[in-house]
Amino acid sequence: MIQLIPCGESAVIVEFGTGIHPEIHYKVMAFTEVLDTEPFLGMIEYMPAYASVTVFYDPVKVKNSQQESGRDQRKLSCEIVCSLLEKILGKLDDSALKSPRVVEIPVCYGGEFGPDLEYVAEHNHLTVDEVIQIHVSNQCLVYMIGFAPGFPYLGGMSERIATPRRITPRPAIPAGSVGIAGLQTGVYPITTPGGWQLIGRTPLTLFRPYNDSPSLLQAGDLIQFRPISAQKFEEYKEKSQ
């Protein structure tokens, strides 16, 4: 059941389900593709999440667009937006989705770049090499970007390397750090405090504020982690500078 719920007078949240599942995610992606290609008059932007899309709009512009087209002016802009969104939902076709982009993320595992790699191995009764092997074996799906600029919320990491967060968070995790928290894995785009178990670091820059698309990753991408040596890491870094 898809639900439309107004959040105050300038946003509507479209809820596609309640869990983290690829099927729900495909619906979210198909819906945002339509919003990208055919935004309605007065739409400001949207925010896709795991199972929902929050659509932000300007009530004045929505109302004016209704006046111009000679339609019922007593309608609330919220009602107008909901009926426009329902129309999109009515003809939503997630089978026509573009095939996902695969983004390769090189990671230098362990050592100073991944101080918690050994702990993750110990916790799961594995060797360090096995942890790396498992981490690079599954492609991870980017469900949404949030929390920090360019930060991906990923799904699809193997349960075999799931590890609880650190008891004491680190005051500063360097940008590019690849971590594990429970069943989640992810990459920190900017330096922030955090409690994730750090297993490695990528030389890629995930947040590029002066680029047309500031976030390297987008919702809907597939991530393929690939192990690299410390030497390769430095080479990448030099190239990107």
Partner 1 sequence: MTIHILHSGLLTTLQDLGRVGYQKQGIIVSGAMDVYSLRLANLLVGNDEGEAALEVTLMGPKLKFDDDTLLAVTGGNLSPTIDGRILPMGRPVYVKAGSIIKFGACQSGCRAYLAVAGGYDVPKVMGSKSTYLRAGLGGFHGRSLQKGDVLSVQAPQETSLRMIQHFVKQHSAVSFVSTDWCAGRGQTAISSGRAIRITRGRQFDLFTEASKNALLTDSFRVTPQSDRMGYRLSGAVLKLAHQVEMISEGITLGAIQVPPDGQPIILLADRQTAGGYPKIAQVIAVDVAVIAQSKPGSLLSFQEVSVAEAERLYLAKEKAFAQLKAAVSLKLQS
Residues that bind partner 1 (CB under 8 A): 5-11, 13, 18-20, 32, 44-54, 56, 59-60, 63, 76-78, 144-151, 153, 189-190, 207, 209-210, 213-215, 218-219
DSSP letters, 139-198, are -EEEEEE-SSTT-EEEE---GGG-BPPPSS-EEEEPTTEEEEEBTEEEE-SS-EEE-PEE
Q: Are strands 222-227 and 102-109 parallel, antiparallel or unpaired?
A: parallel
Which of 111/209 has CB closer to partner 1? Answer: 209
The one-letter amino acid at 148: A
Please identify, using beta-carbon distances, which residue of 41 and 148 lies nearer to partner 1.
148
Min dist. Cβ of residue 46 to partner 1 (A)? 7
**CB of 66: closest distance to partner 1 in angstroms?**
12
Cα–Cα distances in angstroms (integers) from residue 194 to residues 158, 165, 174, in the given order: 22, 9, 10
Specify the residue, 46 or 233, whose C-beta has the smaller distance to partner 1. 46
C-beta of 28: minimal distance to partner 1 in Å? 11
CB 77, CB 8: distance < 8 Å: no
Q: Which one, 153 or 236, has the nearer CB to partner 1?
A: 153
DSSP state, 99? P
Least distance (Å) from partner 1 to the CB of residue 158? Answer: 20
Q: What is the Cα–Cα distance from 142 to 152, expressed in whole angstroms? A: 6
- Neighbour tally for 30: CB within 10 Å: 20
Minimum CB distance to partner 1, residue 146 (Å): 3
Q: Nearest approach, Cβ of 10 to partner 1 (angstroms)? A: 6
What minimum distance in Å lies between the beta carbon of 44 and partner 1?
Answer: 6
**Residue closest to 173 by CA, chosen among 146, 138, 145, 202:** 202
The nearer residue to partner 1, 48 or 176, going by C-beta atoms, is 48
What's the rounded Cα separation, in Å, for the pair 138 and 155? 10
Q: In terms of CB distance, is 62 or 131 closer to partner 1?
A: 62
Dihedral of the alpha carbons of 97, 100, 101, 102, in degrees to the nearest 10: -170
**Nearer Cβ to partner 1, position 75 or 123?**
75
